[in-house]
Every structure is written in structure tokens, then in C-alpha cells.
Amino acid sequence: MSVSTNLDKNKTNNQARQLLGMKGGIYEKKSIWKLRLQLTKPITWVPLIWGVICGAASSGNYFWTIEDFAKVLACMVLSGPLMTGYTQTLNDFYDREIDAINEPYRPIPSGAISVSQVIVQILVLLTLGIVLSYGLDVWSSHEFPTMLCLTLGGAFISYIYSAPPLKLKRNGWLGNYALGASYIALPWWAGHALFGELNYTIVILTLFYSFSGLGIAIINDFKSIEGDSKLGLSSMPVMFGVTIASWICVMMIDIFQIGIGSYLIYIHENLYATILLLLVIPQITLQDMYFLRDPLKNDVKYQAMAQPFLVLGMLVVGLALGRQVV
């Protein structure tokens, strides 16, 4: 393979990473719509969309009808492109100084898109999310606007996570848990509420599960150590150093999944508990092989290889909880 072919391949890979919102992208002048898509970081939509599926499963009332499938798709659009897109754009807006250090190729610090255009995008995505969530309440004949309240609550958490004066992301524990709960609990609640009654059991279990999401959120902090340190953000790697932060990360991911597995045994869903616990084993193996040995180098590789096992475990839990409803 020639040098030019390798360069072209690397360029294409970097362009794809940039468009999806992944680390290691490069800036090239693109259409305004590609820049807007970059701001929403499509790669981050996936866990939210998956969370909706898990919530629908845990409701025990999802059936493979055209109407139910259409509701799930609409809720996926709400949780993914609209509300996650709003969250990521808002975060990029308030993180433009940090990104100028850590990821200068991002649309805002590179100057490829204006601040006023970013503000318009934030407002449009939030408005569309609010309208769609209320439409889902009407469609599901909710007496109380559960979907609307979840959307407004998620929007508020996103704002205080990114924006001063609270800016939860300044604190590694609060910020990462807020992020973990937003990625696991909130879409799960939305999917569950769409087809069933959102109850305390689901709320508490998913908030507990969200501590695994806290661990996943810590992984994203390793790429931003330099900027976080310069601007006074107390991320886990900044507070504890790379080695200790990496151990905190993997312990959070593993222990709380095992805790959920133990709960499934308690409610006599032994088969599902076994499957969940088996899915934790390859995660631990990959942590030892890659992440713990060099979290700065292997963070993206570890996420790509290990997270499928975590998200499959989430669906296993959703199916087990749905059996309790039937």
C-alpha cells in the first residue's frame, strides 16, 4: 500500500471521527449542516437511543405493533438527535475555551461556525424536543405530562452541567454522575413511561445503574486533562491522577453492574442475572488488557470494545424487569 493511499485512508478516518464527534478528528471546511451535525456528536446518541429500548422492555407493555414501533422511533429521535444534540451543542458552547486547548479542530474554537449560529441551534433543538415530548404524552394518553417533564428535567440537568454558575462538570463526582444518569436513567425512564407506569423501583434501579455510567463518563475526561487542569475543572484524572482515576472508573463500571445482577437474583430472575454477570467478564478482561495499562492511549479502543457488553447487559436487565410486570 502506497504512502499516499495510507494518508488518504487516515484523512478519511479523521474526517469520519470529526463528523461523529469523536476524539482525533481534523478540521476541514464543510457545509454548515455538517458543522451543525458535528456539534450534536452523533456518536453520543447511541446510548440514549439504546436506553429508550431498555425502558420499553422494562415496561412489559411493548408489543411489536406498528403503533408501538412508531412510538419507540419517535422517542429515540427525542432522546438522541434532539435532546442529546441539544446537550452536546450546549456543552460545546460553554466549553469553547477548553476545546480551544484540547480539541481546537471542533467547529466553535476553529471558527468554522459563529456563536450566534450555535445559540440558534441550541434553541431550535430544545424547542423541537419539548414539542415532540408533549406530542408523545398526547399520543400515549398520559393524564400527567410525564414525557414533557422528563424532557424539561433533562434539559435543566444539561444546562447546570455545562453552564455557570453551577457547572456541575467542574466537580468530577457530581458532573460525571449527572452525565451517567442522563445517559442511562433518563432515556430508560422515557421508554418505560411511554408504555407503562414509571414507578419508584425503576427510578431507583436505574439511578443505581447510572453509577456505571459515571464510570463510563470518567473515560471521556482523560482526553481533556490539559485543558481541565488549566481552567480549574476538577475532573477525576485532574483530582486523583491518571492511575487512581482509571481504577475508580473501572470499579464504578463493574461493581454497580454486579449489584444489579445481585438484585436480579433477589427477584428470582436467575437466568437474566447469569447473562448479565457473564457480560461483565469481558469488560473486566478488556480493562486489564487495555484501559488500566494506558488509559490515555487506549480510552477510545476500550470504549469501542467494552461498551457493547455493557449496553447488552442493560437490555438484559430491561427484559428481566419487564417479566416482573407481566
In degrees and rounded to multiples of 5, residue 314 shows phi and psi of -60, -45
Q: Give the pLDDT of residue 52.
A: 98
Would you state the pLDDT for residue 8? 46
Digit-coded pLDDT (tens) for 207-238: 999 999 999 999 988 888 877 887 777 889 99
Mean pLDDT, residues 65-78 taken together: 98
**How does pLDDT run across 108-167, given as a tens digit for each residue?**
998 999 999 999 999 999 999 999 999 999 999 999 999 999 999 999 999 999 999 999
State the CATH architecture for 29-325: Orthogonal Bundle (1.10)
| pLDDT of 188 higher than 90 | yes
Distance of CA 131 to the CA centre of its chain: 22
**CA-based angle 140:142:145, to the nearest 5?**
115
The predicted-structure confidence for 6-18, as pLDDT tens digits, reads as follows 444 444 555 555 5
CB 295 within 8 A of CB 241: no
Average per-residue pLDDT for the chain: 90
Residue whose C-alpha cell reads 419517535 in the numeric block: 74
The span from the CA of 10 to the CA of 17, in Å, is 10
Domain regions of the chain by residue span: 29-325
pTM over 0.85: yes
pLDDT tens profile 304-326: 999 999 999 999 999 999 999 86
